[in-house]
Amino acid sequence: SEGALMANVLAILEQRDGALRSVSFEVTTAARAIADAVGGEVHTLVAGGPGIGAASAGAGKYGADRVFACEAQDLAVASPEAVTALAAQQIAGGDYFAVLLPASSMGKDLAPRIAARLDLPLATDATALDVENGNLIITRPVYAGRLFARVSLQGSPAVVSLRPNVFRPAERVSAGEVEMISTPAGAAGARVTVEAFHAAEGGNLDVAEASIVVSGGRGMKGPVHWPLLEELRAALGPAAALGASRAVVDAGWRPHAEQVGQTGKTVSPKLYFAIAISGAMQHLAGMRSSGVIVAVNKDADAPIFKVADYGIVGDAHEVVPVLAARIREARGD
């Protein structure tokens, strides 16, 4: 609409198996806050297989005014080049102030492609967004999370990826209409095709996506003691996943997929347990933005206690079973 020129915000959503992922609602909610601050509309865009149009209506509940969906069989899994072309077409025709994506594996692939395609400024892995004097101010971690930089970008729209689990989805009463669009002509001939996603063995929820994480460190003294952590994880319910420090992964006690930190995954759950982890800078880099941090360590001077909201000084082998039992009680198990 003419009145909202350059004030709209585009949220590029992510789906898996035909359903919007929770990061999509986080991005839509963040887009709503920015659009409200600059007086614009929120548009969402999602690409997927047949049925994604109907499945994307849910974005309206999180504040989307217009919900654009592109359905095609070859968009069912992931298709970075086609989605880049689709997003570029949408952005070119849309007078956008900002374009937001999740900094998920898929968003980390897409965001720079879109920025490069349209020669737009890019900021990745944002943990906060503000509008000051009409400018978008992006807060993002630097130096492995030791500092936060507040940056503003030259040029518009700004392409910004948002760290998963940081922006909490908030429902609204309004519901946007779904509008079907198609991929631009000539988008075929992709060099990359993603055929399928395979869940990691063991069925453990991905540590980067879980809302509760139980991580173990070298102080656990070996893989034979992991059932203790597995028991705590189970007590916390299906939203909890196991994580590990690098010392544990390097020792071969746990798979690399569970490593949290600078050279592992960045996690930002609502609740993070660091059990027998010292709290080295490179570990903190991957978990510092968690909501509530609980540390168990036998050394009262362990650096992990500097970032912990709750600290228990004690032997993990004694503390963890008690913690698990109390949590089971509190959850009514």
Q: Supply the minimum distance, in Å, between the C-beta of residue 303 and ligand FAD.
A: 8
Q: Where are the beta strands (DSSP E) in 25-111?
A: 42-48, 66-71, 96-102
Q: Which of positions 292-311 make contact with ligand FAD (CB under 6 A)?
A: 296-299, 302
What are the Cα distances from residue 60, in Å, to 57, 98, 200, 268? 6, 18, 32, 25
Q: Which residues of 55-85 are buried (b: 16+ CB within 10 A; e: fewer)?
A: bbbbbbbbbbbbbbbbbbeebbebbbbbbbb
**Which window, 72-80, 154-162, 193-201, 212-220, contacts ligand FAD (CB under 6 A)?**
212-220
30 is an interface residue for ligand FAD by CB under 6 A: no
286 is an interface residue for ligand FAD by CB under 6 A: yes
Q: Supply the minimum distance, in Å, between the C-beta of residue 200 and ligand FAD.
A: 18
Nearest to 97 by CA among 141, 153, 162, 45: 153
Q: Supply the minimum distance, in Å, between the C-beta of residue 330 and ligand FAD.
A: 22
Q: Which of positions 226-255 make contact with ligand FAD (CB under 6 A)?
A: 245-248
Query: Which one, 86 or 324, has the nearer CB to ligand FAD?
Result: 324
Residues 6+ apart with CB under 8 A from 191: 81
The pair of three-digit structure tokens given for residue 166, joined into one six-digit string:
């940081």
- 246 phi and psi angles, rounded to 5 deg: -65, -35
Q: Supply the minimum distance, in Å, between the C-beta of residue 142 and ligand FAD.
A: 16
Q: Supply the minimum distance, in Å, between the C-beta of residue 318 and ligand FAD.
A: 8
Q: Supply the minimum distance, in Å, between the C-beta of residue 249 and ligand FAD.
A: 8
263 is an interface residue for ligand FAD by CB under 6 A: yes
**Which window, 67-75, 88-96, 117-125, 270-278, contacts ligand FAD (CB under 6 A)?**
270-278
Residues 6+ apart with CB under 8 A from 216: 226, 229, 242, 243, 244, 245, 248, 254, 275, 276, 277, 316
Q: How many residues are present in the chain?
A: 333
Residues 15, 23: Cα–Cα separation, whole Å: 9
**Strand 8-12 versus strand 42-48 pairing type:** parallel
145 is an interface residue for ligand FAD by CB under 6 A: no
Q: Supply the minimum distance, in Å, between the C-beta of residue 309 and ligand FAD.
A: 18
Query: Which one, 162 or 260, has the nearer CB to ligand FAD?
Result: 260
**310 - beta bridge partners?**
294
315 is an interface residue for ligand FAD by CB under 6 A: yes
Scan for tokens 């991905």, then name that residue: 206
Residue pair 20/14 in contact by the 8 Å Cβ criterion: yes
Interface residue with ligand FAD, options 58, 94, 102, 261 (CB under 6 A) = 261
278 is an interface residue for ligand FAD by CB under 6 A: yes
Query: Which one, 128 or 280, has the nearer CB to ligand FAD?
Result: 280
Q: Supply the minimum distance, in Å, between the C-beta of residue 211 and ligand FAD.
A: 20
Query: Which one, 299 or 333, has the nearer CB to ligand FAD?
Result: 299
193 is an interface residue for ligand FAD by CB under 6 A: no
Q: Is 183 helix (H, G, I), strand (E, B) or coil?
A: coil
The residues of the shown chain that bind ligand FAD, judged by CB under 6 A, are 217-219, 245-248, 259-264, 276-278, 280, 282-283, 286, 296-299, 302, 315-317
